Structure 1
Amino acid sequence: MKDKQQINLSRRRFVTGMMAMGTVSMLSPGPLIPKVWAAGESTERWVQSGSHFGAFEAKVVNGEWVDTRPFRHDKYPCDMLQAVREIVYNPSRARYPMVRLDWLRKREKSDRSQRGDNRFVRVSWDQALDLVYAELERVQKTHGSSGVFTGLADWQMVGKYHKAGGAMDRGLGLHGSYVTTVGDYSAAAAQVVLPHVIGSLEVYEQQTSLPLVIEHTDTIVLWGCDPIKNLQIEFLIPDHVPFGYWQQIKEKAAAGKIRIISVDPVRSKTQNYLNGEQLALHPQTDVALLLGLAHTLYEEKLCDTAFLRDYTVGFDAFLPYLLGDKDKQPKNAEWAAEICGLSADQIRGFARLLVKGRTQIMGGWCVQRMHHGEQYPWMLVVLASMIGQIGLPGGGVGFGWHYNGGGTVTSKGPVLSGLGSINNPPPPVHAADFRGASAHIPVSRMVDCLLSPGKKLAFNGETLTFPDIKMAIFSAANPFHAQQDRNRMIEAWKKLETVVVLDHQWTASCRFADIVLPVTTRFERNDIEQFGTHSNKGLMAIRQIVPPQFEARHDFEVFAGLCKRFGREEAYREGRNEMQWIRAIYEEGAKQGAMNGVAMPDFDTFWNGDGYIEFPAGEPWVRHGDFREEPDLNPLGTPSGLIEIYSKTIAGFNYEDCPGHPVWMEPFELRKTDDKTQKYPLHLQSCHPDKRLHSQICSSEAWRKTYAVAEREPLYMSQKDADARGLKAGDVARVFNSRGQILAGVVISADYAPGVIRIHEGAWYSPKDGGKAGTLCTYGDPNVLSADIGTSQLAQGPSAHSVLVEVERYRGELPAVTGFGGPHEVKAEADNAA
């Protein structure tokens, strides 16, 4: 087993117009017809490409993409491939460089309350880049590096060369320095606390190979984890191999050989697929349940004391809290039952099951996107340590099972680098000058920073000083989807003098911009990319399906044009065009492969042939197996090298909201099941959607119609909650709290317990009155309702799932959905434009 576990870390670590309508084929594998790649050689051709939703082939007839079918090597294609064609052809496509009317007139002295009214003037590319450059110069000279902010999500593109973040960093880095973000919205709390506890980010790490789970596991615990829903997409191109393994798990579960327990207030897609059992706890009470389980294991002498002794530190410091020595409240099953809604007998029975045979705990991310979200992943590691199976095949705990093909077997192939830093770059035009402010901020504290420049912020042991940001540049990012409390955002955006957005869809972030630069989709570019993120099953040529539409430009070309304006274009380009960059990246990977005994054809053979290489299969691997086998030789990345149940580092930060060991702390908003007077009695979940990647493909009109209700985002709720409010399926409801109000279409489902509703995140913000705080969102963006409060001083992550609301039938005249389509194009000299 030891040899099977030793997969190279570099392979297993993952860090860091109207719509032209066409038919979409049934997404079933079919034989490839001969390919003709060069434009003009045939009026009909099939072109290989890839996306976050999977690999596919596009049928192009007379220059138009008309049909789509899955890649021949994907046995479990995702039905979201039906939406990818509409990314190119839809009414929300960003087509031309546009500048907000009042900003074009007055620049940084514009009326910022007009942001969001969607009135823009079309300009040439030269004029747009001149404006961006002039603003960069002005802000750097006047306010220094702390005046410029870059927001980046980098979910927009697959491809090693065409990385929006790489292009932006190269270009802006040649001009000067700027404020950046740390962390992300998906897993901010976990990715900060887990390195202190178990030595790595964990959330983005490869998991124990699923074949070993199938072979060894007796019980799978899905703790807020929904892999059948979320494995449809990946950060790179998914190969969807995990679905074959999950089908085997389903078969073993049906035969009684694996028991599936879902700890979740809602019956998830995975639970329904596997026909698993459910422990339907109250929302946001996971830590209380975990403590009750831990207390039971200790009280009944079921915990693995040898594992705690040999592989962990700090259990003795945690135990007095668990036993209630100071607060006189043991965190036993009875105490936990009062909070989480399960019975004490259920909790005790579950604890006993965890140590009966091999148990694999699969932790999801939604639970840590709550107030005090750091406590859940920490406590889940503590529970797994008490069970004592960390590092065993099919046992222990992991936090990446639902992401990037977690649990696939990683191949022996090379991992190609992408567009990186410039070799021997000239010094930037402006030296770094943050003027006493911090060079980075936690990503979800962006609005706090805008509203309170100069304020001090505790973050993971640092004391940050918020910079006074004047200019924000967003590339491959949609902050008016990801950030919480939309109405607070509107006020914060007024603090910015200039907002620049690069995108290929006219999102709400574009509507709240001053300059919008249209970039190409991944389907208008050539590139190469991995087939399978964690699996790295193979390497694909991503071929341009159609040429850039309208006036869209590649991100790389946008920043090359910007660099031209301050004399750095030659340094930026490094003498290579698109295909030369792709060739260089491929050839570097081929050298890496040869060093590991993996032969790859020369680039011309690869690109001009099938454009696909399948790498040699790897060996199954156990997460933390090397640590368990030899903890002294393979220590974790914690100060002690062991699992830290009590962290002296965190304790030394002296954070009242995140002490040195996990504790139960009630979130700022918690549904009280016995409080009949609670003003907002429903808990709103806004987890990742089943039919999108965050906000991506929400603009695909035909696809959106397959799941929207009355043209709105679905609102999922129980029959009991619907009946109590006089609602029926298909109604349009107003969902509201003190922070905002939205419309959504009612879907009644037996999967939802009373008191719990769901509206998926990523629904496009669609204000009835653009740019006005408090206005009704006409489509159903749940972040209108969420609070912009950090998880704690440790991670300062988003608390997006600590949300209480009320729902009622919408009785007024239904407003049109406002969030889709392009800008209202106006003339700069219009008399009524001011």
Structure 2
Amino acid sequence: MAHHGFVIEGYRPHSAHWGPFHAAYAGDGLDVRPDPRDPAPSPLLRNIPAALDERLRVLAPYARRGWLDGGPGADGRRGHDEYVRLSWPEAIELAAAELDRCRRTFGNTALYGGSYGWGSAGRFHHPQSQIHRFLNVLGGCVRSVGNYSFGASAPLLRHVVGGLEPLDNPTSWPVLAEHTEHFVCVGGMPAKNAQVNAGGAARHTVPGHLRAARARGARFTLISPLRDDLAAELDAEWLPVVPGTDTALLLALSQTIVDRGLHDENFLRTHCTGFDRLRDYLFGADDGVVKDAAWAAALTGIDAATIVRLAGQMAARRTMVTLSWSLQRSRHGEQPVWAGIALACVLGQIGLPGGGFGHGYGSSAGVGEGSLPYPLPTLPQGRNPVEEYIPVARVADMLLEPGQEYDFDGQRRRYPGIRLVYWAGGNPFHHHQDLTRLRRAFARPDTVIAHEQFWTAMARHADLVLPATTTLERDDLGCARQDSALIAMHRVAPPLGEARSDFAIFRALAAELGVEQEFTGGRGEREWIEHLYEDWRARLPGELDPGLDFAAFWQAGRIELPGKPARHVLYEDFRADPRRHRLSTPSGLIELYSAEIASYGYADCPGHPAWLAPEELAEPLGDGEFPLLLVANNPATRLHSQLDHGATSAEAKVHGREPLRLHPDDAAARGLAGGDLVRVTSATGSALAGLVLSDAVRPGVAQLSTGAWFDPSAPEVATCVHGNPNVLTRDVGTSRLAQGCTGQLTRVQVEAFTGTPPPVRAHEPPRGVDA
């Protein structure tokens, strides 16, 4: 491994999910400088100093008044109760006693270990690993599987292509930049999402690769209701599709290609199974409806001639069908992914350099960067003896409906009865839908314990809030499987207040419960970090050894990680010899018809890709009580809800609230102007937002990004007065197959807010906490 020491005088190296940086802390503020080797550092680095803003931090342990006085039990006061400051010994004693009571009285299936993997870019201080390790030494807990990002795709891909390689290791960017002649970007490849990657992104290369492809002459077609889902410099043809109708468009493209004899019959025969069933569906053999361009035009808003022309262009050139993760975060979200794979099979270019399909290009900085062929330093989590789990997006169902049966990927499962929720890392009030329902769900357990850095909605719905350090306040190792560097994450600032690392909190609890040795393995934090590094080194092939012991690495601040292939073509070997390189599907081939999925009998996910109209399209756009279709996408100004009060995030607010974008024609029809304060309503809830006019938004569509901290402080005005769109979205699964998140789309109305606007209190501590 090449060693590249690079130190900015007086600054310490560190890393975040949006890239490496150097930082200097003077006690009165933090100065952050991007790593000079990053060709396109993220503007999200400007949010980082806000991590040390004491006004929003949890600076000491706290207990919710109602729980402290009344004891454990269901309580609707969670979320709007006051808090009482505790000492650390008091907090540890209370938390340990409640953990012990619940597991001894109800068993470990009554404990839910809640976490989400974005808590830290560090490998040791990874909250999800820490909480699972701790609860596993106590006998385990109910856990979640899957994620909110591509929860519908993962189960589907296992059935259709036998694994997650399209997510984990698609065709690499250098191959696309050199060979792809036509990028058909379904859902786009937004530059904002390519800023971030779980574990970090040492170099942001996606914009450069796209520019290189365009300079070579590649053509781009953007299929999205938002024109800026692809960089303007790529000069893409924009097809402003009606949100939620991508499946219909993809099916029509396949039907058109087959109807004109432009399909690859040989590839469909030798590398796929079930094309005959799919072809019958495309040509209406079962339902009498031919899924042609005219049929799709009526649904998608894209005229038939354009669909026919696009089909011909795709068949004539080396085409990459890119499918964003956002496509599958809506009802029947499995279908656009399956239909996109089917389209790539019809074209017959899978396994060719620059052709085929990819899932997630632009959704994360790591997608298309290639994967390291060796494991990274990882904290062992031990074994969880509890076999119970839930799909991650069904947490409210679990808390509200214990014992209720549900379907998931061919299984008939039952929700466990949860008495104690322990959350460390992540904020469900950002990721989840229908936050009014989620609040009811969090009122149900006996006790909720949370490690939190800030007074987020998660902290405000917890009974015991234990102050956790941010990544800036501890040492760690930073890297990702798709990254090119291992970063020595030096502690930049001392812990604020009484904050402790998750490890230190769990260590104290483990000691109180008599399992300290089992949890710590006899190591402290610095010893663990050094051990993880040296153990990782020892497992590497000799030729990849960095040649630096831990002390030398820590002083250098960074080492480059070799071994990642510069070029990778998804399914290249499978294309060359499908018998020798079988996929892990029942047939060994790509399953355009899955007998296994069909056997489940799910009406909301049949055995082949199909058009299933989402409930949001039961009425045409412009009709009904909620005439607009809201797209609730990821924000450009922060990662999820992290550091919502940071500089980049705060500067984008309008009236201190999240901006909502509308087409000028839709605004004019409502008598609205840019900068107005508006009230957005759906059948689920309401939110206040600041209006921004943009012709980059398709008429009939509104766009409101996720991540504004949930603020229900004035329910007489709106469910959230800060602009969190998850108060508007429905809490239902994508289908019985995947039970994924459906938070991308919902029907809304937008009107002027004419009353006295309530203050935004999301960035203030709750009652009982010293400001």
TM-score category, normalised to shorter length:
over 0.9
SS class of match (1:231):
helix
| Whole-angstrom distance in 2 between the partners of 1:109 and 1:343 | 57
Is the aligned partner of 1:89 residue 2:89? no
Residue 6 of structure 2 contacts residue 556 of structure 2 at CA under 8 Å; is this kept in 1?
no
2:415 pairs, out of 460, 466, 469, with 466
1:193 paired with 2:156, answer: yes
Aligned pairs for 1:484-633 (under 5 A) are 484-530=433-479, 533-613=480-560, 615=562, 618-633=565-580
What CA deviation, in whole Å up to 9, does each residue of 1:78-101 have, x standing for no partner? 111011111122522121111100
Runs of 4+ in 1 over 6 A off after TM superposition: none
- 1:293 is matched with which residue? 253
Aligned to 2:741: 798
Check 1:312–1:129 CA distance in 2 against 1; reply closer, same or farther (3 A cut). same
Q: For 1:250, which of 189, 208, 211 is the aligned residue?
A: 211
Q: Is the 8 A contact 1:238 1:404 kept in 2?
A: no
Give me the whole-angstrom Cα distance separating, in 2, the residues matched to 1:456 and 1:635: 36
Summarize the Cα distance change of 1:167–1:371 in structure 2 as closer, same or farther, 3 Å threshold.
same
- Residues 222 and 261 of structure 1 are in contact (CA less than 8 Å); yes or no, is this contact kept in structure 2? yes
User: Which range moved further: 732-741 or 201-210?
Assistant: 201-210
What residue ranges of structure 2 are gaps of 5+ in the alignment?
none
Distance verdict in 2 for CA 1:203–1:814, change over 3 Å: farther
Separation in 1, partners of 2:590, 2:465: 47
User: Any stretches of 5+ residues in structure 1 without a counterpart?
Assistant: 1-29, 35-44, 433-437, 828-834
| 1:671 CA drift (Å) | 6.6
Query: 1:316 maps to what in 2?
Result: 276
What residue number does 1:740 align with? 685
2:695 corresponds to 1:750: yes
Q: Which residue of 2 aligns with 1:391?
A: 351
- Equivalent residue number for residue 477 of structure 1: 426
Which residue matches 1:27?
Answer: none
Summarize deviations over 1:125-147 as a string: whole Å, max 9, x none: 11112111111122122222221
| Other structure's SS at 2:24 match | strand
> Equivalents in 2 of 1:163, 1:203: separation in Å?
25
Tell me the CA shift for residue 823 of structure 1: 2.4
The answer to whether the 8 A contact 1:133-1:562 is kept is yes
The aligned residue for residue 752 of structure 2 is 809
SS at match of 1:822: coil
| 8 A Cα contact 1:400 1:406, kept in partner | no
Q: Confirm whether residue 211 of structure 1 aligns to residue 156 of structure 2.
A: no
Residues 599 and 413 of structure 1: is their aligned pair in 2 closer, same or farther, counting only changes over 3 Å?
farther
Q: 1:492 to 1:87 in 2, by over 3 A?
A: same
Distance 1:401 1:575 in 2: 42
Shift of 1:178: 1.6
> 3-state DSSP class of the match of 1:335?
helix
Q: Which stretch shows the higher mean deviation, 547-556 or 65-74?
A: 65-74
Partner of 1:214, secondary structure, is helix
Give 3-state SS (helix, strand or coil) of 2:678's partner. strand
Matched residue SS, 1:355: helix
The partner residue of 2:135 within 162, 169, 172 is 172
Distance 1:378 1:797 in 2: 15
Letter in 1 for 2:214: A
d(CA) in 2 for partners of 1:774, 1:554 = 38
- Equivalent residue letter for 1:106: G
Paired position in structure 1 for 2:193: 230
Rounded to whole Å, the distance in 1 between the matches of 2:717 and 2:581 is: 54
SS at match of 1:116: coil
Correspondent of 2:668 among 723, 743, 746: 723
Contact kept, 8 Å, 2:11 with 2:24, in 1: the verdict is yes
| CA shift for structure 1 position 217 | 1.1
State the match for 1:694 in structure 2. Answer: 640
Q: Decide whether the 8 Å contact of 2:421 with 2:447 is kept in 1.
A: yes
Indicate if the aligned counterparts of 1:480 and 1:486 stay in contact, CA closer than 8 A. yes
Separation in 1 of the partners of 2:54 and 2:512?
Answer: 33
Deviation, structure 1 residue 271: 3.8
1:778 to 694, 699, 721: 721
Per-residue CA shift, 1:555-596, capped at 9, x if unaligned? 111111111112110121111122211111111222233435
3-state SS of paired residue (1:95):
coil
Match of 2:35 among 67, 71, 76: 71
Post-superposition offset of 1:804: 0.1
- Tell me which amino acid in the other structure corresponds to 1:71: D
Which residue does 2:18 correspond to in 1? 53
Change (3 A) 1:826 1:398: closer
2:638/2:648 contact within 8 Å kept = no
| Cα drift, residue 446 of structure 1 | 1.2
Paired letter, 1:155: W
What does 1:85-164 align with in structure 2 at a 5 Å threshold? 85-109=49-73, 112-164=75-127
Structure-1 separation of matches of 2:690 and 2:657: 5
SS at match of 2:230: helix
Using the aligned pairs only, state the percent identity: 36
Which piece of structure 1 moves more, 517-526 or 317-326? 317-326
Corresponding position of 1:8:
none
Paired residues of 2:113 and 2:135 also in contact (CA < 8 A): no
Identify the match of residue 761 of structure 2 among 818, 828, 833.
818
Distance 1:741 1:270 in 2: 30
Deviations 1:630-678 (A, max 9, x none): 22222222122210000011011111111111111111121744x7541
Alpha-carbon distance in structure 2 between the residues aligned to 1:415 and 1:439:
27
Following the alignment from structure 2 to structure 1, what is the Cα–Cα distance between the partners of residues 233 and 59?
41
Task: State the Cα distance separating 1:616 from its structure 2 match.
Answer: 6.1
- Quote the Cα distance in structure 1 between the aligned partners of 2:589 and 2:44: 42
Residues 172, 272 of structure 1: CA spacing in aligned structure 2 closer, same or farther, 3 A cutoff?
A: same
Number of equivalenced pairs: 766
Tell whether the 8 Å contact from 1:358 to 1:395 is kept in structure 2 after alignment: yes
Structure 2 CA distance, aligned partners of 1:203 and 1:117?
44
| In structure 2, C-alpha distance between the alignment counterparts of 1:227 and 1:712, rounded to whole Å | 23
Secondary structure of the structure 2 residue equivalent to 1:744: strand
Q: Secondary structure at the match of 2:195?
A: coil
Q: How does 1:632-781 map to 2 (within 5 A)?
A: 632-670=579-617, 672-673=619-620, 677-700=623-646, 702-769=647-714, 775-781=718-724
Q: Once structures 1 and 2 are overlaid, which stretch shifts more, 141-150 or 567-576?
A: 141-150
- What letter matches 2:261 in structure 1? K
The residue type equivalent to 2:329 in the other structure is: R
- Structural mapping, 1:279-428, within 5 Å: 279-406=239-366, 409-410=369-370, 414-422=374-382
Q: 1:757 to 1:411 in 2, by over 3 A?
A: closer
TM-score by length of 1: 0.89
The offset of 1:117, in angstroms, is: 1.0
Q: Deviations over 1:597-619 (max 9, x none)?
A: 44431222111234434536643
- Structure 2 distance, partners of 1:421, 1:752, is 45
1:803 is paired with a residue of what secondary structure? Answer: strand
Query: Structure 2 vs 1, CA of residues 383 and 676 (structure 1 numbering), >3 Å: closer, same or farther?
Result: closer
Over the aligned positions, Cα root-mean-square deviation in angstroms equals 2.1
Whole-angstrom CA distance in 2 between matches of 1:355 and 1:90: 58
Say whether the 8 Å CA contact 2:708–2:722 is kept in structure 1.
Answer: yes
Amino acid at match of 2:627: P
Q: Is the 8 A contact 2:662 2:701 kept in 1?
A: yes
Q: How far does residue 32 in structure 1 lie from its aligned partner after superposition?
A: 4.6
Q: Which amino acid aligns with 1:247?
A: G
CA displacement, residues 664-705 of structure 1 (integer Å, 9 cap, x when unaligned):
1111121744x75411000101111111111111132x3333
Secondary structure class of the residue paired with 1:137: helix
CA 1:703–1:343 in structure 2 vs 1: closer, same or farther (change >3 Å)? closer
Q: Answer with 246-255 or 372-381: which moved more.
A: 246-255
Native 8 Å contact 1:206 1:406 kept in 2: no
Normalising by the residue count of structure 2, what TM-score does the alignment of the two structures yield?
0.96
